[in-house]
Structure 1
Amino acid sequence: MSVVGVDFGSLNTVIAVARNRGVDVIANEVSNRVTPSLVGFGPKSRYLGEAAKTQEISNIKNTVGSLTRLAGRSFKDPDVQIEQQFVSAPLVDINGQVGAEVTYLGKKQQFTATQLIAMYLTKVKATASAELKLPVTDLVLSCPAWYTDAQRRSLIDASEVAGLKVLRLINSTTAAALGYGITKLDLPAPEEKPRRVAFVDIGYSNYTCSIVEFRKGELAVKSSTHDRHFGGRDFDKLLVDHFAAEFKEKFKIDINTNPKARVRVAAACEKLKKVLSANASAPINIESLMNDVDVRGFLKREQFEELAKPLLDRALVPLEQALADAKLKVEDIDRIEMVGGCIRIPALKTKVQEFFNKPLSYTLNQDEAVARGCAFSCAILSPVFRVRDFSVHDIVSYPIEFTWEKSTDIPDEDTSLTVFNKGNIMPSTKILTFYRKNPFDLEARYAKPEQLPGGVSPWIGRFSVKGVKPTGDDDFMICKLKARLNLHGVLNVEQGYWVEDQEVEEPIPEKKEEGKDDTAMDTSAEGAAEKPKTRKVKKQVRKGDLPISSGTASMDITSKDEAAEHEYSMVAEDKLVADTEDKKNELESFIYETRGRVEEGGNLAEFVRDDSERQKIKTKCEEVEDWLYDEGEDATKAVYVAKLEEIRAVAGPVVQRFHDKIEEERRVRDEEEARRRADIEAKRKEEEERTKRENERRKAAAEAEKAKDVEMKDADPNEAGTKPDEVEEA
């Protein structure tokens, strides 16, 4: 089972996996650790990730970015109109949802934001599978903390369309906090004062500040605030607007009339911004920007900070709000962890440091911290990995209320109730009780629409409770509904059932007498016969289930299946196009290779019988080459394979002679090797035989010598061993 964490950003995406007793960030097909969050469309196939970035300028009207900003939004949302400034493809209304209209396979097509995200997640899935050499099905996905129920459902639906299962949809700053806390061994004990850390995450389009309390084995988010329109792209836009005015004055060109020119300037300004983070000044040079005009410019860091002053003045608002929501003061914060690429801007760092009056901490990798936290979360949820126990307590971002129609039988009944308040722990479950005689509906919505991301509908879902009827004595049925805000931050009414009040007997707990030994055994006859005392109490006993039908912002099963089938067909089309391109390249290489091999000096030249045979092969190669660069430019895979076989058929006899010689040389080598080994084996056996005969000869000689010694002893008169001159006379 794969364990994958994905930081799905509005500019780039980072993929991390848990393995080798740790977490690794994996590289994509071009060895980059971040993959552009772009989807492009062409006449034959789609371009996803790096491929979309490569052809973005040349295919600007058919390339869609800012996918996370479009998820779960309607076309009428004011924020969507703002996004059109950053998305080059035209945005359209598709059945109330925002989508993009592009030219794909030679015709105009429309795709919803959910479909576009599913396409991109298909690429993420393929990248992770290629690295792990395993199929990827489960993942933990990050999202901004300000996402609403509809936006979260959109990401989950897109994942399912892409064939992925989201184990948890986690807020990005919460993921960074998990990555920070799970590796710390010095966190305070549960009964001690917690360590309070402010996570300041400023990325490409979002600014989030979360105050998190850490204790050993757990983290609790105390507050989370945001500015949805504060990030790297907003600083880039300031620079683009500045240079647009400068180029118009100096070079008499207006890049706002040319989308491609504006995109090229935006890319140059992004690089200039990065250079200014480490240098006092930076140049900008773009060749042939438009109308064959080369442009150049220069900017100092002081000028940049002056341009960005309106943005920088907003930098403290989320920080102040986060402390206020957490009911804390600046001095209560122990550390300030900085996350996100935009925090590299020196003026921004200075603003944050002056606010907290503490040194900033950069222990986390600014670009990869969220992805690593997601991978840790996935490992915790996976049965395959053993991970240190660490619980995560996130919070509800917006208060949620239920509303319902007033019952005619209960005239003074309230018709709304705030069930999940802002700041409540998530996940969370609440039981709602209703007294009804007939089926009824209830609706979930956000209690304070003004707090939602601009223009988002406060509606969450409608739930219909079936099977409600009067009880036997025409009394109310007591209905219990289980409302759950799950790990993803998505609200559902998961279960409905009805109960009855019944009298049941329960034992009365005995009071201990002073001085009496609790462990002593009562051996009296009276004590042995005494029964435990009981009392009658009223309790609600579950009697049956109540069916619930729900209508939410999620895609219905039929639409989801259709979208998944469409996605699979597009994946197959992309694969066919890629295979066709490979065959085309193979044919081109084979033409040059074959022609070179039959020329003088080539390894096939000596196997060509005469010049006519050589000319026949060269003529065929030239014929196919001419076809390839003319009408064969857009042929099918089968045609390329057929042309490849045509050349092989003509060059086949020469190639066969070459292989026959190679085979003959191999056979001769094998025979020589066999003879050599046979000679070595024969010599080895001869040596063994000679050694054996020599050993037998030596053994025989030793036995003969031993026998001779025995005979000599038998013939010796002094066999007692004394010398002759030592024999005494009689």
Structure 2
Amino acid sequence: MSQLASIGIDFGSQRSVIAAALKGGVKILDNEGSHRETQNVIGFTLEERFIGEQGALQQKSNFKNSVAFFNRFLGLHGEPSFRAEETKWLTVPTSINDSGKTLFEVNYLGQKTTFTPEQLTGSMLNKLKHVIVHNDINVQASNVCISVPAYYTESERKALIDACKIADIPLERLLNETTAIAINYGLFRKADLDAEKPRHVAFVDFGHSKFSAFVGSFYKEKAQVVAQVNERNLGARDIDWFLFEKFATQFEQQSGGLNVRKNLKGKLRLLESIEKARKILSANSEAPINVEYLVEDEDFNTLIKREDFEQMIQPVLNQIQQQLEFLFNQVQNLKLQLHSVEIVGGATRIPAVQRLIEKIFKIEQVSRTLNASESISRGCAMMAAMKSPNFKVTEYKIEDCNYYPIRVGWLYGQQLSQQDQSQGLVLFDQNNAIPSIKSFALLKTEPIEISLFYDPVPEGSQAILQQIRIPPQNPKHQEHSTKIKILLNQNGLLQLEEIVLQEEFMEEVKVPIEKPKPAEPPKQAEQPKPAGDAQQQQPQAAEPQQPAPDAIQQEQPKPEEPQFEIKQKKKTIQTQINCETTSLNSMSKKDIDHLFQQECEMQNQDKLVHETHFKKNQLEAYIYAWRENVNNKYAQHVKPDLKAQILKDLDVQYEWLYGDGQKTTKREYSDRYDKLVQLCGPIVTIAEEFRQVPETIQQALQYTSNYEAFVTSQEQQYAHITHEERQIVANEVNAFKLWCNQILDALSKADKTVRFTTSVQQIQTKFNEFKDKCQPIVLKPKPEPPQEDKKVEEPQPQQQPQQNEANNNNKMETE
């Protein structure tokens, strides 16, 4: 039975890591290749798709139809300056559609097809779903938290959410990578943290294609990100590209002008060797780079030393230094005392990067207490577990924050065509905590157009995030305002909370006049009365005298009529306003449903191809197996004419399989396989009967030895069984043994090419009948021994006094 879990996915540019929060803790899930990381590569062929590990294995041979780094184009519009930086890593052509989205062009099922980044991301997420199911986890009953870089804009976040809908992922929320790292650090160190004094820790995440660094403040029960820097295009692949340019020039000089830059397959192979060498240099002083037949049968062999490597990557180190210095200046401005500097990301293993971090933060050594590759996925899994009702997780509050400032602007009346940002204000500043609600009020009643926008605008993103059109209002009172509440939700997306028309007015109300209460006369102290008087008055106290009616009327004053005064009281009323909202950068439900249907069709096509290959392999294996079986394993059970027919049919199927049967339907393979099974299956049945009949008889005869021992047994537990009953068991044992020996004798003389007359089921039935006759005698219970009648003695009264005296003499003295 599938188990429930909270899933965390570190959805990186090059690879994905999946963590599952289970009852026993957090576990990193292995894919079908037993790897803890799954490559984000999708390959398309004439028949099917290869996604993940399979796509990465075929990328070099199928480079013209293999797409990587597709999630780097999520939510991007137009042609930003870094688009050329991204496309140089691709091996497929791209284009831009009318809406400004990037399209990847591949040859799929024999036709030229284009896919959007959302489609490819949805396909990759579907593959990750299969990895989760492969680990015996019910995906649909679980909740999923996916990491995103902190620099992701609203359009990129919405694009990833749309991709989750295409893949039918039960998304709980998006989580910034910085926040996921902070959760993984703080939640498992609660015992070492203080409830009032924060621990400030810096984190440096240098991954395959992006860089981020931030400072977190950690308390015993909460944590928050106080400063951060991010660079979209700074990662280990930039180091590989510098080495690629150097070695491509070196190869061109050695080979007499062969250009590996224009050879896509050679480019991928050289980049792969450079990546391996970079990882080797993290622990060794030198590393070889060997690529056979790089271009036109020309090999490339070289050796790189760590000193030369660090000199070649100096431009990348300068960019890292610039980012770290900017973060360090923020730390100094905030006057924070750093406890340690943690490193995350595979590229932080480079010694030159570690020395640079130690130099800028002025520390002796970086801290390596976090897993460089799995920290983000573990943090996402714990956040999902906190949100899930299926798990009880230690309370730990984490404050996520916004990276880009968001402003709001508005226009009135007939000037809706001109955006006047001078009237706007900063609604959500950088590092604003999320989720967060901000409100503002507008005083005019004219039609209002409100725009929420980035300022400054991130490159590759549209400025306008959301537009709200408020119709004209007709307030009933002079003092009024339109109040707008905007929510920046947990996913970092803007959401209109409410818009109300708030009116304030003064209303005359009657207020009762409070009169001062008259002062109460002081109570006189009661004088003590003589004892004699008290005794005389005591009987009168039991019968009080009723006062006269006239006295009661005189004691009660007449009630006065209440008096009121008129006062002005301020009142507020709120009226909900229905407005028109335009949320940009989101796909419509119709488009998402269409892409979801397309993904289902492609999955069915992949499934059909896999099942067809399975049937083909099954037919091929059956042909080879029976060519061997008819001459060895089942040779004595096959008649000569049947053997000749089987070999002939096997040869016919073999020739068809490697001829016209190379590419055919699943049904064709299945039908031909069934025909061979129909021909050869009876032989297997005959052989199994000749094997199982003697085994079954031997097992039954071994069991009869127990009954033979019972017949001659002198044990006390069988002493109550008579000689006649024992003789019945002995006769049944002899009869069953005789029948078994006759079967074995007939079996030895039988024709082994036809089915034996006695089946295994008949032997088992005969054995059960034998047991039914013998077992009741063996298990016959012993008769109960006769009960003796006890004599009742009559009491002797004359002896009672003596017995009582004896009992009294035996009593223990307690005083």
Taking structure 2 as the reference length, what is the TM-score of the superposition? Answer: 0.77
Match of 1:375 among 381, 405, 414: 381
Cα separation, partners in 2 of 1:507 and 1:598, compared to 1, 3 Å: farther
SS of 1:360's partner is coil
Aligned to 1:406: 412
1:422 aligns with 2:425: no
> Where does residue 543 of structure 1 map in the other structure?
575
Query: Where does 1:353-364 land on structure 2 (aligned, <5 Å)?
Result: 353-358=358-363, 359-364=365-370
Q: Is 1:101 equivalent to 2:105 in the alignment? A: yes
Q: In 1, Cα distance between the equivalents of 2:354 and 2:347?
A: 9
The residue aligned with 2:547 is none
Alignment of 1:137-176 (within 5 A): 138-176=143-181
Q: Deviation per CA, 1:220-253, whole angstroms, max 9, x where unpaired?
A: 1111101222111001111111110111111232
Counterpart contact for 2:177–2:376, Cα < 8 Å: yes
Q: How many percent of aligned residue pairs carry the same amino acid?
A: 29
Q: CA deviation at 1:264?
A: 0.2
Is residue 564 of structure 1 aligned with residue 596 of structure 2? yes
User: Residue 639 of structure 2: which of 596, 609, 613 is its match?
Assistant: 609
* 8 Å Cα contact 1:461/1:553 also seen in 2: no
| Cα distance change of structure 1 residues 75 and 55 upon mapping to structure 2, 3 Å threshold | farther
Q: Which residue of 2 aligns with 1:13?
A: 16
Partner residue in 1 for 2:734: none
- TM-score, length-scaled by structure 1: 0.86
SS at match of 2:319: coil
Q: What is the alpha-carbon distance in structure 2 between the residues aligned to residue 371 and residue 562 of structure 1?
A: 31
Which of residues 42, 65, 73 is equivalent to 2:76?
73
Q: How far apart in 2 are the matches of 1:472 and 1:614? A: 102
Residue aligned with 1:72, SS: coil
CA RMSD across the alignment: 3.3
Following the alignment from structure 2 to structure 1, what is the Cα–Cα distance between the partners of residues 475 and 704? 100
CA shift at 1:392, angstroms?
Answer: 1.1
Instruction: Describe the SS at the equivalent of 1:229.
Output: coil
Q: Give the C-alpha shift of residue 150 in structure 1.
A: 0.5
Aligned residues of 2:479 and 2:503 also touching (Cα < 8 A): no
State the partner residue of 1:50.
53
CA drift of 1:665 comes to 4.2
Tell me how far apart the structure 2 counterparts of residues 688 and 506 of structure 1 sit (CA, whole Å).
105
Larger radius of gyration: 2
Distance of 1:260 and 1:476 partners within structure 2: 72
CA deviation string 1:513-539 (max 9, x = no partner)? xxxxxxxxxxxx9xxx999x9986534
**Residue 39, structure 1, aligned to residue 47, structure 2:** no
Written as runs of structure 1 = structure 2, the 5 A alignment for 1:665-676 is: 665=694, 668-669=697-698, 671-672=700-701, 675=704
SS of 2:252's partner is helix
Higher mean alpha-carbon deviation, 546-555 vs 157-166, is at 546-555
Equivalent residue for 2:229?
225
Pair 1:444-2:456 in alignment: no
Tell me the alpha carbon deviations over residues 99-134 of structure 1, each in whole angstroms, 9 at most, x when there is no partner. Answer: 211111110111111111111000111101221332
Shift of 1:564: 0.9
Aligned 8 A contact 1:240 1:266 in 2: yes
Shift of 1:540: 3.2
Shift of 1:260: 0.3
- How far apart are residue 185 of structure 1 and its match? 2.6
| Alignment equivalent of 2:242, drawn from 224, 238, 257 | 238
Q: CA deviation at 1:550?
A: 2.4
TM-aligned CA deviation for residue 331 of structure 1? 6.9
1:584 shift after superposition: 1.4
From the superposition, tell whether residues 446 and 296 of structure 1 become closer, same or farther in structure 2 (CA, over 3 Å). same
Equivalent runs, 1:435-474 vs 2, <5 Å: 435-437=443-445, 439-449=447-457, 452=458, 454-465=459-470, 468-472=472-476
Distance 1:503 1:42, change over 3 A: farther
Contact map agreement 1:323 1:329 (CA 8 A) in 2: no
5+ unaligned residues in a row in structure 2: which ranges?
A: 515-556, 724-780, 789-815
- Give the residue type in structure 2 aligned to 1:48: I
Q: Distance in 2 between matches of 1:272 and 1:507?
A: 88
1:442 CA displacement: 1.7
Structure 2 residue corresponding to 1:630, chosen from 641, 659, 677: 659
2:683 aligned partner: 654
Name whichever of 666-675 and 238-247 sits farther off: 666-675
Instruction: Count residues with an aligned counterpart.
Output: 676
* More divergent stretch after superposition (378-387 vs 318-327): 318-327
C-alpha displacement at 1:544, in angstroms?
3.1
Q: Hey, what's the Cα distance between the residues in 2 that align with 1:182 and 1:682?
A: 73
Give the Cα–Cα distance (whole angstroms) in 1 for the partners of residues 618 and 566 of structure 2.
88
- d(CA) in 1 for partners of 2:33 and 2:710? 54
Equivalent position SS for 2:151: coil
Give the counterpart letter for 2:38 in structure 1: T
Shift in CA distance, 645/677, structure 1 to aligned 2, threshold 3 Å: farther
For the structure 1 residues 409 and 45, does the alpha-carbon distance in structure 2 shift closer, same or farther, using more than 3 Å as the test? closer
Q: 5+ unaligned residues in a row in structure 1: which ranges?
A: 511-524, 704-730
